[in-house]
Amino acid sequence: MAKLLRYLGQAIFYILFVSVIGYFSTYPVYTHLPPDQGLVKLSFIHTAQRKGACRERTDEELAKLAPNMRVRKVCPRERSDVVVELDVDGKPLYHVVLPPSGVTRDGSSAVYRRFQLPAGRHHFTARLKDWESAEFNYTGAADVTLAPGRVMVIDFKAGAGGFLFKS
Amino acid sequence: MEGALSAVFGPALNPFYFLGGIAYFLLWVLVASGFYVYFFFDTGVVLGYQSLEDLTRKQPYLGGVLRSLHHYAADGMVLAMTLHLLREFFMDRYRNFRWFSWVTGVPLLWLVYASGIGGYWQVWDRLAQFIAIGTAEWFDYFPIFGEPLVRNFLEDGGVSDRFFSLLAFAHIGIPLLLMVFLWVHTQRITRAVAAPPAPVALGILLALVALSLIKPILSHAAADLGAVPNNLKFDWFYLAVYPLLYIWSPGAVWALTGGFTLLLFLLPWLPPRMHQEPIVEVHLDNCNGCGNCVADCPYAALSLEPRTDGRRFVHEAVLRPDLCASCGVCVGSCPYAMPFRSVGELVSGVDLPDVPVRALRATTDKAVAALAGEVRVMVFGCDHAPKIVKAPGVAYVGLRCIGMLPPSFIDYALRGSAVDGVFIIGCADCRYRRGDQWLKQRLAGERDPRLRGRVSRERVHHCSVTDIPGGRVTAHREFAEFREHLRRLPRRRVGSETGSATPRG
């Protein structure tokens, strides 16, 4: 009888062991986003304009350089910050100043940011400036219907004309 | 819980005493089941998902079960590993000489998680998509990549088949690295428990197979980067930290995981410092280089080296002080720890300076001399085991570990007629890993030094329990039964051989 009880106890242990594993390996279900919401992801990589203008070296300057270094055009390495603003339905949602990467600040600026928005139709306006001027040199706007549980991506490609709204 | 398991499994098979071994065993289950799954698995954005679907749907009773077993064994490994860590911590088994095993266990946590989470990516379903994006967002907290990693998962087409080949390679490579670290983790432990006893291993395996049949693991819908992965059947063993990325922030999750890891690394040196008794001393005058102590040391603190003192023996025992636990298990193995020796000063080849063998003999002599009553029992007990209350007819000698008891002391206690029986209490879950096991083997004549054949076994009882309520009850019950058993035996008289007797009255 005692042996039977021990086997029963062992069976209960194994059932408990696999029950814990079986339950927590799939439950509770994780709800990442409420059902009436969608995601907007603003993300791009962009290399801003140089901080200063390029210039031509004088003959005297060139003469001082080693022969293999005598390139007439010289440009400052450092690039401007990239400033981005995003408005949704006329209200400012995001503003960021993106410094150039690299020790000498001559690399690209990158951004990735996600926003949770109610599903439905929204008006998006994005602005970007990549120079030293106070003016934004790129602006894009779009009316987009954000479906529940869907992702909309706002990308930026200067060569393609600026902001791209992909849903 | 531990007591209940000891009651139903018996102390020798209590799964709580083999948590590390269970984790090890589940790793081999993972390797075996993983081999089969990998045989049918195609790496690729679409192929990976499709091949696993085929495996699950077209051969549910083999491929499907083995896929589920692979999943559940991985979860079981995390569970066993976590319990192992918690148990070692709460039992204060992570400081002093144990620091190495503790510290080398910390990277194992990261490697186990990296292996498991990497496995999820292979499926490339909605859950994999969520994990991939979450991991990328988490790692992008540190601006070490030229381009944010997460940009690879912005739109379909961002990742290629080659990326999944790389993931498959990592899912094999990281577990291999895990095995290397496991080897390092057990380096300072002799005869590390790399598997639970066969009945426990079989029980766990059958239970996991049954779970795989009852609740097979299925993929979510295929990944779609245009959709938000939602309502996910979440594996909380591996993924519990991911929701925190969105409740808190990636930086906060780094602070949590990094801070916890750092804390684990530093724990062995944080106050309060654990007191350690003086370590073993080797006395070459009494060492013949037999190697018993080297074989029995639970922490590889002793080794045999060529003789240096010119005596005719080939080897001598050499101690690595930083590895010594001061447990005294080596003392119990030394043939020179012989209380019958009539030398000027009894010294063992390996001896504890604060509890030398001569002191143990003196304590035994004193305890035996004080014994009186109808049934006189000499009790040798581990300091970490349940205590048998001193009472008339009971003499108690405590030891740092029961493995410290040379079997000749049992012979010694029973040599006259002052003791009717010897009761030994060791720990089923020995604080120094092997003490109780080695003593048991010495008593059974399976390990040197052996209990001499002339000792009447019916007057010796070895009780193996844990110092928990259930263990105390067992120890007292076995003690009462042993006394009653001795009462029924013929009374011993002066001049009898060790443990033999003449009829009472």
Nearest CA-CA distance, residue B1 and chain A, Å: 10
| Residues contacting A160, CB < 8 A, separation 6+ | none
Same domain, B264 and B285: no
Among B2, B5, B8, B139, pick the best mutation site for testing chain A contact (most A Cβ within 10 A): B8
Dump pLDDT digits (tens) for A65-123.
Answer: 999 998 999 988 999 999 999 999 999 999 999 999 888 888 899 999 999 999 999 99
Same domain, B237 and B294: no
Backbone angles phi, psi at B243, to 5 degrees: -60, -30
Residue type for position B6: S
Dump pLDDT digits (tens) for B402-457.
Answer: 999 999 999 999 988 889 999 999 998 898 989 999 999 999 999 999 999 999 99
- Does the residue B465 lie in any domain? yes
Dump pLDDT digits (tens) for B336-373.
Answer: 999 998 877 889 999 999 999 999 999 999 998 888 88
| Residues contacting B285, CB < 8 A, separation 6+ | B347
- Does the residue B341 lie in any domain? no
Same domain, B220 and B323: no
Same domain, B183 and B101: yes
Same domain, B286 and B265: no
Do residues B373 and B418 make contact, with C-beta atoms less than 8 angstroms apart?
no
User: Which CATH number does A37-49+79-166 carry?
Assistant: 2.60.40
**Do B236 and A25 lie within an 8 Å CB cutoff?**
yes
The one-character DSSP state at A49 is P
What is the C-alpha to C-alpha distance for residues A130 and A79, in angstroms, rounded to an integer? 9
Same domain, B12 and B56: yes
Total length of chain B: 505
**Three-state SS sequence of B358-371:** HHHHHHHHHHHHCC
Question: For residue B148, what pLDDT is reported?
Answer: 87
Tokens of B307: 């003789």
Residue type for position B137: E
Closest Cβ opposite residue A21 in set B8, B75, B206: B75
Whether B504 has a pLDDT exceeding 50, the answer reads no
Q: Across-strand partners of B9?
A: none
Domain boundary among B199, B234, B269: B269
Q: Please choose, from the candidates A156, A158, A96, A165, the residue with its C-alpha nearest in 3D space to the C-alpha of residue A124.
A: A165
Whether A1 has a pLDDT exceeding 80, the answer reads no
CA angle, B156 as apex, B52 and A125 as ends, to 5°?
Answer: 150
Domain of B308, CATH number, reads: 3.30.70
Do residues B462 and B424 make contact, with C-beta atoms less than 8 angstroms apart?
yes
- Does the residue B313 lie in any domain? yes
Question: For residue B500, what pLDDT is reported?
Answer: 46
**Do A112 and B210 lie within an 8 Å CB cutoff?**
no
Nearest CA-CA distance, residue A89 and chain B, Å: 22
Same domain, B141 and B27: yes
Among A4, A7, A18, A164, pick the best mutation site for testing chain B contact (most B Cβ within 10 A): A18
Residue written as token pair 């106050």: B271
Domain boundary among B269, B302, B317: B269
Backbone angles phi, psi at B304, to 5 degrees: -100, 130
Question: For residue B494, what pLDDT is reported?
Answer: 53
What is the C-alpha to C-alpha distance for residues B263 and B260, in angstroms, rounded to an integer? 5
Q: Report how far Cα B232 is from the mean position of its chain's Cα atoms.
A: 35
What is the C-alpha to C-alpha distance for residues B394 and B257, in angstroms, rounded to an integer? 53
Same domain, B247 and B318: no
Same domain, B465 and B400: yes
Among A16, A20, A32, A150, pick the best mutation site for testing chain B contact (most B Cβ within 10 A): A32
As a whole number, mean pLDDT of residues B378-401 equals 88
Domain of B169, CATH number, reads: 1.20.810.10
Kindly provide the ipTM of the predicted complex, given to two decimals.
0.88
Closest Cβ opposite residue B5 in set A13, A108, A110: A13
Q: Please choose, from the candidates A111, A99, A84, the residue with its C-alpha nearest in 3D space to the C-alpha of residue A51.
A: A99
Dump pLDDT digits (tens) for B153-209.
Answer: 988 888 888 989 999 999 999 999 999 999 999 988 888 888 899 999 999 999 999
| CB contacts, 8 Å: B4 with chain A | 9
Dump pLDDT digits (tens) for B56-112.
Answer: 999 988 999 999 999 999 999 999 999 999 999 998 889 888 899 999 999 999 999
Same domain, B117 and B46: yes
| CB contacts, 8 Å: A17 with chain B | 76, 79, 204, 207
Rg (Cα) of chain A, in Å, rounded? 29
DSSP secondary structure, B223-243, as one string: P-TTB---SB---HHHHTTHH
Counting the structural domains of chain B, the total is 3
* Chain A residues within 8 Å of chain B (Cβ atoms): 5-6, 9-10, 12-15, 17-18, 20-22, 24-33, 35, 38-39, 41, 43, 45, 101, 107-108, 110, 112, 114, 149-151, 153, 155, 166
Half-sphere exposure of B280 (CA within 13 A, CB side): 34
Same domain, B88 and B109: yes
Question: For residue B11, what pLDDT is reported?
Answer: 75
Helix (H, G, I), strand (E, B) or coil at B263: helix
Question: For residue A2, what pLDDT is reported?
Answer: 76
Whether B391 has a pLDDT exceeding 80, the answer reads no
Range of the domain at B126: 2-269
- Closest CA in chain A for residue B137: A112
Q: How many helices (H) and strands (E) does chain B have?
A: 17, 8
- Domains of chain A, by residue range, sit at 1-30, 37-49+79-166
What is the C-alpha to C-alpha distance for residues B477 and B470, in angstroms, rounded to an integer? 11
Q: From residue B407, give the alpha-carbon distance in Å to each of B341, B355, B367, B422, B434.
A: 14, 17, 17, 11, 16
Indicate the average pLDDT of chain B: 90
Nearest CA-CA distance, residue B233 and chain A, Å: 4
Residue written as token pair 């994006």: B133
As a whole number, mean pLDDT of residues B43-67 equals 91
Alpha helices in B322-356 (DSSP H): 329-333
Tokens of B55: 């495996």
Tokens of B135: 């991991």
Nearest CA-CA distance, residue A130 and chain B, Å: 18
What is the C-alpha to C-alpha distance for residues B294 and B318, in angstroms, rounded to an integer? 9
Indicate the average pLDDT of chain A: 91
Dump pLDDT digits (tens) for A83-97.
Answer: 999 999 999 999 999
Q: Across-strand partners of B281?
A: B351
Confidence of residue B274 (pLDDT cuts 50, 70, 90): confident
Same domain, B360 and B440: yes
